[in-house]
Amino acid sequence: MTKPFHKKLLEKIVEGILALSGSITSLAVLLIVIFLFKEGLGLFKRSPVAEGYVLAVNKNNPVNRIDSKVVKRIFDQEITNWKSITGKNDTIITFRLDNLNSYYSDEKIGANLENLSVCISSLVDSISGIIAFVPQKNITNDFKGKLVKPENVSAGEFFLGKEWYPTAEPSAQFGVLPLLLGTLWVSLGAILLSLPLGLAVAIYMAEVANPRIRNIFKPIIELLAGIPSVIYGFFGLVVIVPLIQSIFNLPVGETALAGSIILAIMALPTIITIAEDSIRTTPRSMKEASLALGASRWQTIYRIVIPYSISGITAAAILGIGRAVGETMAVLMVTGNAAVIPHSFLQPVRTIPATIAAELGESSQGGPHYQALFILGCILFILTLIINLTVEYISSRNKLAKR
């Protein structure tokens, strides 16, 4: 049987539109990912020293290269002698342009900074223990000091570094480990709290509750998903944080636990909806067979219903984690945002999304800090990709098992 021509044409057009919108969506996703990685990976070719600046020492100083971490500790005056970093026994004197006036008067430097280069050069020449953080353009050919270069930001330093000081001058520290562990830690706590609760509610709604109660509960739970995350953040800061502080008698209430509790509440609707749907797919015949064999309702639930829908429940849990990993605003407000590696739930942590949200606005475009934040975005992307692939895998396995 052939259809009339114009109907066929219409079908073709609709088909074309569907295919086009599909490919546009995939293209957009692809472009975003490429953009993310392109912006981020430039970081590993950069020096951690602020752009346009160099570090200079006296020409008689034997030190040629200084590790970026050491630079920070020198300028924080934690390292005070060249001896401790394979140099001579000489006190380290740090110099920034801000201190220039304690060495030279404004007249000497000149109103338009015309003598700046000469001043820097003679200063570096005259003080043997100096390390100066000065603009590159003031280093002229007749500069009497020696330039030292910190190593470029390496991948190892980035992923295993423990210090996150992206705006530290002269040498920024990009150690992402505390942020990554903080994110995973808060998410783990959230899932430990929300999974049992979410599962209990899902079973109750699917198996135990009568339709009237279910019709009241369901919209309320779905409403949870519609509340903006800033509201959760406020709630957390004003209610949960002081509560945790007084219950555990802590010095500070902004902890990973506060973040976990807020995220658990936010992940609940996802977990409940998906788990309930999957519990509902248990065939009526299986449940009836179980009941007919004399099993109680509870025995039926945990021997028949849960094993049957376990893959759906797992998917619910993983999607819940996904929700928790990417959440920004609520976490930013309640976890205290201290970039330290977490050892317990009763300690402040800083998460990746919170870091991006708090810092991207003020970082200079194209600079190392900006690029580091893009790599954080890549890490987040990879995390959620892994989560989605796991869900994919589990639900496909389930389909095979049921066949």
Partner 1 sequence: MKRIVISIIALAFAINGQAQRIKGSDTMLPLSQKEAETFMKNNTTAKVTVTGGGSGVGIAALIEGTTDIAQASRPLKMDEKLKLQEAGVTYKEVVAAWDALAVVVNPSNPVSQLTRAQLEGIFTGKIKNWKEVGGEDLQIIVYSRETSSGTYEFFKTNVMNNKNFASNVLSMPATGAIIQSVSQTKGAIGYVGLAYVSRDVKALKVSYDGKTFIGPSLETAKNKTYPIIRRLYYYYNVKVESKVKAYFDFVLSAEGQKIVEQVGYVPL
Residues found near partner 1 in the complex (CB under 8 A): 50, 52-53, 72, 75-77, 96-98, 112-113, 135, 137, 163-169, 178, 237-238, 241-242, 245, 251-254, 332-333, 336-340, 348, 350, 358-359, 361-364
Q: Which is nearer to partner 1, 287 or 369 (CB)?
A: 369
Query: CA–CA separation, 178 vs 343, rounded Å?
Result: 11
Q: Of all helices (H) and strands (E), which one includes residue 164?
A: strand 164-165
Q: Which is nearer to partner 1, 201 or 375 (CB)?
A: 375
Minimum CB distance to partner 1, residue 115 (Å): 14
Q: Which residue has the tokens 């505390």?
A: 178
Burial of 330 (0-12, 13-18, 19+ CB in 10 A): buried
Minimum CB distance to partner 1, residue 147 (Å): 17
Q: Which is nearer to partner 1, 273 or 337 (CB)?
A: 337
The β-bridge relationship of strands 53-57 and 173-174 is unpaired
Q: Which is nearer to partner 1, 82 or 95 (CB)?
A: 95
Query: CA–CA separation, 183 vs 337, rounded Å?
Result: 11
Beta bridge partners of 49: 171
CB contact at 8 A, 334 and 236: yes
Q: Which is nearer to partner 1, 18 or 238 (CB)?
A: 238
Q: Which is nearer to partner 1, 122 or 390 (CB)?
A: 122
Minimum CB distance to partner 1, residue 134 (Å): 9
Minimum CB distance to partner 1, residue 236 (Å): 11
Q: Which is nearer to partner 1, 11 or 76 (CB)?
A: 76
Q: Which is nearer to partner 1, 50 or 199 (CB)?
A: 50
Question: Other C-beta atoms within 10 Å of 155: how many?
Answer: 11
Minimum CB distance to partner 1, residue 9 (Å): 47
- The CA-atom distances, in angstroms, between 170 and each of 122, 144, 244 are 21, 21, 39
* Nearby residues of 273 by Cβ (< 8 Å), 6 or more positions away: 221, 222, 316
Omega cis (within 30) before 48: no
Query: CA–CA separation, 251 vs 361, rounded Å?
Result: 31
Minimum CB distance to partner 1, residue 131 (Å): 13
Question: Other C-beta atoms within 10 Å of 207: how many?
Answer: 18
Residue type at 20 in one-letter notation: L
Minimum CB distance to partner 1, residue 158 (Å): 16
Minimum CB distance to partner 1, residue 63 (Å): 21
Query: CA–CA separation, 380 vs 99, rounded Å?
Result: 41
Query: CA–CA separation, 42 vs 35, rounded Å?
Result: 12
